[in-house]
Amino acid sequence: MATKHSEYLGTAREIALSLVREQADQIYADRIWPERSIRELQRAGLGGLAVPTELGGLGGGASALAEICEVLGEQCASTAICFGMHCVGSAVIAAHATPAQQSELLEPICEGEHITTLALSEPGTGAHFYLPQTQILADDNGYVLNGRKTFVTNGNHAESYVLSGVSAADGLSFSCAVAPQGSPGMTWSGAWTGMGMRGNSSLQLSLDNVAIPRSHLLGNEGDQIWYVFHVVAPYFLMAMSGVYLGIAQAAFNAAREHVTRRAYAHTGALLADTAVLQHRIGQLWGELEKTRQLVHAAAKKFDVGTEDALLAVMAAKAEVADCVVKTVNEAMTLCGGMAYRDAGPLERYLHDARAAHVMAPTTDTLRTWIGRAALDLPLLGD
């Protein structure tokens, strides 16, 4: 099993360039959850990528997560998101894992036998995912959950779900817990018919008197906001930054390839011979490179624990969202009517890229939070 950064990045690249690439069109066309690729990544030992080494994982941190999601996202964004959400969920579990959570959840995660994921968003509070309305009622045996989650990526395919809720007793204190798949009272509904990210299986989950033992609480009661800003946000933002950089790189490659192949009958010239198109390709390359450097720097800040790390990861994800939408749009223009007519991979990139701005924390929210922090205001002010 690969244990060094360069080794597991190499392993991920090999899987990305073979199975993930082969499966991408079918996943998009048939809306299939990327089971084969996820299992292959687990088999290759990458299931514990975001779990610290002292808990049996690879300890890849946000840097390896961003890089691996980029490598996967260049081939298939759905596979990259599904794998990324598993890694974010496992980092959340690992943050304050009890010995019981280590043996029940982290060991199988690191052994490639367990997929987890985040089920935070709710229909009622939407992009304000840190304000769950799911009720958590403490009783003698543990907790009982009642509520509805939405957009649960890996929905109905994971072995466990990292959930959030509000105390039924005071309506004020928010907590995180893990519920195993198949817990009585859990019902999945709908099919994922999203415009893009078509393999995501981002489903709705109803929780009707779902009982979980006390040992499945993450951290202490009332810790959700700590988890959101110390673990969920940084790992999620770096995973997603990687995914969207991957899409942007794929779109750039498609544009580059098209302009170097397309020749006119009346002049014999290639599109690549046209100065203005050379300029546009140059501009896109620069945009992509500066955004990638920003992501890598932000991930490193988080991994070493600098004071401004949270601001850096938030800014990086906002910039990546702008970069990917711009790059894919430009690539579509550079590839011309043929790309528009033939509905090739650029259609997939265009559809997948648009999720970048709307997955919470959304671009607007991130920029507002960064501004508030820069102004010494609390992030969650209103």
Ligand X SMILES: Cc1cc2nc3c(=O)[nH]c(=O)nc-3n(C[C@H](O)[C@H](O)[C@H](O)COP(=O)(O)OP(=O)(O)OC[C@H]3O[C@@H](n4cnc5c(N)ncnc54)[C@H](O)[C@@H]3O)c2cc1C
Q: Which residues bind ligand X (CB under 6 A)?
A: 85, 117-121, 126-127, 129, 151-153, 194, 197, 200, 202, 355, 358-360, 362, 364-365
135-138 and 160-167 beta bridge pairing: parallel
**C-alpha to C-alpha distance for 80 and 25, rounded to whole angstroms:** 14
Nearer to ligand X, 24 or 355 (CB): 355
**C-alpha to C-alpha distance for 20 and 97, rounded to whole angstroms:** 32
Please list, in sequence order, all residues whose beta carbon lies within 8 angstroms of the beta carbon of residue 157, skipping any fewer than 6 positions away: 33, 35, 82, 115, 201
Nearer to ligand X, 143 or 161 (CB): 161
Nearer to ligand X, 225 or 360 (CB): 360
Q: Answer yes or no: are the C-beta atoms of 20 and 76 closer than 8 Å.
A: yes
Question: Residue 270 gets which letter from DSSP?
Answer: B
Q: Report in angstroms how near the CB of residue 266 gets to ligand X at its nearest.
A: 44
Nearer to ligand X, 85 or 312 (CB): 85
**C-alpha to C-alpha distance for 256 and 278, rounded to whole angstroms:** 10
Residue 377's DSSP bridge partners are: none
For tokens 């190499």, name the residue.
Answer: 10
Q: Answer yes or no: are the C-beta atoms of 41 and 12 closer than 8 Å.
A: yes
Cβ neighbour number for residue 156 with a 10 Å cutoff: 17
Nearer to ligand X, 131 or 168 (CB): 131
Q: Report in angstroms how near the CB of residue 40 gets to ligand X at its nearest.
A: 21
Contacts 24+ apart (CB under 8 A), 373-379: 373/310, 373/311, 374/311, 379/229
Q: Report in angstroms how near the CB of residue 119 gets to ligand X at its nearest.
A: 6
Coil vs helix vs strand at 207: strand
**C-alpha to C-alpha distance for 56 and 63, rounded to whole angstroms:** 18
Please list, in sequence order, all residues whose beta carbon lies within 8 angstroms of the beta carbon of residue 373, skipping any fewer than 6 positions away: 310, 311, 379
Residue nearest to ligand X (CB): 126
Q: Report in angstroms how near the CB of residue 124 gets to ligand X at its nearest.
A: 9
Q: What is the maximal distance between C-alpha atoms in the chain?
A: 82
Q: Report in angstroms how near the CB of residue 336 gets to ligand X at its nearest.
A: 28
Q: Report in angstroms how near the CB of residue 151 gets to ligand X at its nearest.
A: 3
**C-alpha to C-alpha distance for 207 and 279, rounded to whole angstroms:** 54
Nearer to ligand X, 177 or 334 (CB): 177
Q: Report in angstroms how near the CB of residue 4 gets to ligand X at its nearest.
A: 29
Nearer to ligand X, 44 or 131 (CB): 131
Q: Report in angstroms how near the CB of residue 346 gets to ligand X at its nearest.
A: 19
Q: Report in angstroms how near the CB of residue 381 gets to ligand X at its nearest.
A: 10
Coil vs helix vs strand at 151: strand
Nearer to ligand X, 205 or 212 (CB): 205
Nearer to ligand X, 127 or 225 (CB): 127
